Structure formats: structure tokens, C-alpha cells
Amino acid sequence: MKNEREIFLIDSNSLMTPCRFYYAFDLVPAYWKELAKHIDSGQVVILDMVKDEIEKGQDELAEWIKGNNALKIISHVSDETIKKYQDIMQYIGASGFYRDTALHTWAQAYIADPWLIAAAEANGYTIVTEEVPSGGLSRKTPNKSAKIPDVALHFGVKTIGVFEMMRKLNIRIDK
């Protein structure tokens, strides 16, 4: 299912990193107000597992997430998402690009990464993540960990960083 307008599915690091390192709530509240507008419009959504991960932090970001009543929470247990998840896990295990540790890590119940890709593929979303590609996959030297941008690319899922999302949503911090 493809959307007419681009919808952004946020990885936890795309909220935690800005909050902790460059858009602290007390220093740059305009960023969070602007982001909330796009949450209200439904153009920025979050996976249930990511929401749970953030809320475990019991910090200002967790309170901000809890206080956003308009935030659309995407369930990771839809039939289509589960099917995509199975495809992703099979790819990690069979592609030859990853060591067994990558599959074991991503198979843990609390790891949201494969579910993010699965939900994005199932719904036609763009993933916003601060993860960067590994810089080249090789069967001769398989990676010990899988990265969202690499696996997403294989499945045709678009990934971008926070600043690119800000540009696409026209989020400006000039207030």
C-alpha cells in the first residue's frame, strides 16, 4: 500500500539523538513544536516498539511522547508487517552478508529494527533513522551486525536522516 504523501516512520535514535545532543527541549523547543505539528497531521508516525523503548527512558522525551495524543502508533503485529518481518529475517540469515550474530541480535523480541523495515515496507513509509549504511556488504567478509539502511535498501524501503526529514517537512528553527 503506497501513500499519496510521504509519511515518516521514526526510529528511536531519530528522537533520542536530537533530544540529547542538539535539540534539547529547554534550548530548542521550536523543533519539538514543529515536529508535533507534523505528528498532528499524521505525516510523522511511530512504531509501537519504538514508543515503548522511548517510554522506558522515563525522561523528558518519554513525557513528550506520552503527551502527544495525536501521535499515530503503528502496530508491529499486523498480518502484512509480520509477513515482511519474516522475509527480512530470512534475508539476514540467507544473504551471506551477515554473520549469525546479526540474525541473533535482530531476532530478539525487543529489537525494533527489522519491525521498522517491515512496517515501512507494508505501509509505504519512509524510515527516519540516524543509522548509516555499513559502507559495503560483502559475502567474503560478512558484517557482524545489520544496519537499517542496508536491509531497507534491499527491500526497496527509503531511509533518511533527521535533517532530510526536516527539509522535506519544511521544519525551520528560526523562532
Residue 94 lies in domain: 79-158
Tell me, what's the pLDDT at 174?
79
Q: Are residues 66 and 94 in the same domain?
A: no
Q: Are residues 65 and 88 in the same domain?
A: no
Q: Which residues of the chain have pLDDT under 50?
A: 1-3
Tell me, what's the pLDDT at 10?
97
Tell me, what's the pLDDT at 175?
57
Q: Are residues 129 and 149 in the same domain?
A: yes
What is the distance between the alpha carbons of residues 148 and 96, in angstroms, rounded to a whole number? 16
Q: Are residues 94 and 154 in the same domain?
A: yes
Report if residue 132 sits inside a domain. yes
